[in-house]
Amino acid sequence: MMKLTAFDQVLVYGATGPAGAARESVRLAAAAEHLGYDRFWVAEHHGATSGCGSPEVLVTAAAAATGTIRVGTASVLLPHYAPLKVATTFNLLERLFPGRIDLGIGRGPGGVESVVKQLAGPDEAPYPEKVERLLAHVSAGTDLLPASSPPQLWLTGAGPGGAQLAARHGLPFCLAQFAHGTVRPDIVELYRENFRPGPLGAAPRVSVAVRVACADDPKDVRLLRSLLTLAAAPTSRRTLPSWDELHALESTATSPGADTDGMSVLAGTPTEVGEKLAALIAAYSPDELAVTTACPDFDLRVRTFELVRAMDPAATALPV
C-alpha cells in the first residue's frame, strides 16, 4: 500500500480555541500512528488566530507522544529564517528522536501580509540561496552542528519553480495539489526529468498533498467541503465554526450541488473519494500521499483519515 502522511494545518475552531487546536494536533499524531500512517506533518501559519506559528514545537510534542511514526513539517517557511537556525533546531530534534524527523521546507507566505512583513528581516537572501545554505548545514560533515544523522528533507511547492529547485538539489518533492483545480502532471514530470542525485536523495521521490472531505454520511461531506472552502479562503485567518455553528450556517445557506472543487478538494463518500484518488494516482504515479482535512469534531476528523487509510486506490489506478 502507498505510504501515507497525515498533514495537519492546525486549524482553530470556535469550540476548541487556539490551545485546543495545538493539543488536538498532538492527539491527531497519535491517532495517525495508530491508523498506520507513515508520517505526520504540521503546517506553519502566522497570526493571532492561526494554529501553529512554530511548527518545530508541535513536532517535538507530537514525536514525544508517539513511538514509530515519522514527524515533521510542511513546511518551515525558510524565507523567514536563518538556515543555520533551522538546521540547528532539526539537528536537535533528530538527536532526540533519531530516524523519525522530517524537515519540509517551503516558501509560502504563511500569513497575512502585515504579519509576514514582521517576520522577514532586512536584506534577506533569495530563497534558492537559503535552500543551498540549509543543505550545506544539514549534510554530513559540517562542523557547525553536533554529530547526528540528518532529518529527511522535503521541498514542498505548488509550481514549476519548487519542482526544479527540489530536482536540482536531489530532494524529495511534495506537490501541493490542493492549490490546483486540475491535476498537474507536468510539474511532477519536470521534477523527475531534471532530478540530480545528491547526498540527501539518490532518486526522485514524489508526494502529493490533497485536501479531503470524506465521510460515511453525504450530509457530513457537504459540511466538511464547506469548511475546507472557508479554511482555504485568503481572508479566513480566523476561528473556524464549531460543528454546531457549521450546521446552522448550512441550514441558512443554499446547499452546494455537484462537486465543483475539481481536484483542489477530494470530496465525497469513501467510494467517491477512492475513485478521485485513483485518478490522481494514475496522473502522478506518486510514491506517497499527504492527506489533510478540516473538521471541528475531532472524532470525525480522525474518521476521515481512517477512511482514506482503508482505501487502496493504487491497486485500481491505471498507469498513464
User: What integer is the mean pLDDT of 290-315?
Assistant: 91
Q: What is the pLDDT of residue 292?
A: 97
Helix axes 185-194, 270-284, angle to 10 degrees: 40
Query: pLDDT grade, residue 318 (50/70/90)?
Result: very low
Q: What is the pLDDT of residue 258?
A: 42
User: Between 51 and 198, where is the model more confident?
Assistant: 198
Beta-carbon contacts of 90 under 8 Å, excluding residues fewer than 6 positions away, are: 56, 101, 103, 138, 151
Sequence-ordered alpha helix ranges (H) in 11-149: 17-35, 55-64, 83-96, 113-119, 127-138
Beta-carbon contacts of 298 under 8 Å, excluding residues fewer than 6 positions away, are: 24, 27, 28
User: Between 181 and 120, where is the model more confident?
Assistant: 181
CATH number listed for the domain at residues 3-316: 3.20.20.30
User: What pLDDT digit, counting tens, does each position of 216-261 carry?
Assistant: 999 999 999 988 888 877 554 568 888 888 888 776 654 444 455 6
Q: What is the pLDDT of residue 252?
A: 61
Letter for the amino acid at 251?
S
- Tell me whether residue 276 is exposed, middle or buried, using C-beta atoms within 10 angstroms of its C-beta: 0 to 12, 13 to 18, 19 or more: buried
User: What integer is the mean pLDDT of 167-181?
Assistant: 97
DSSP summary character for residue 125: P
Q: What is the pLDDT of residue 236?
A: 47
Cα Rg, the chain, nearest whole Å: 19
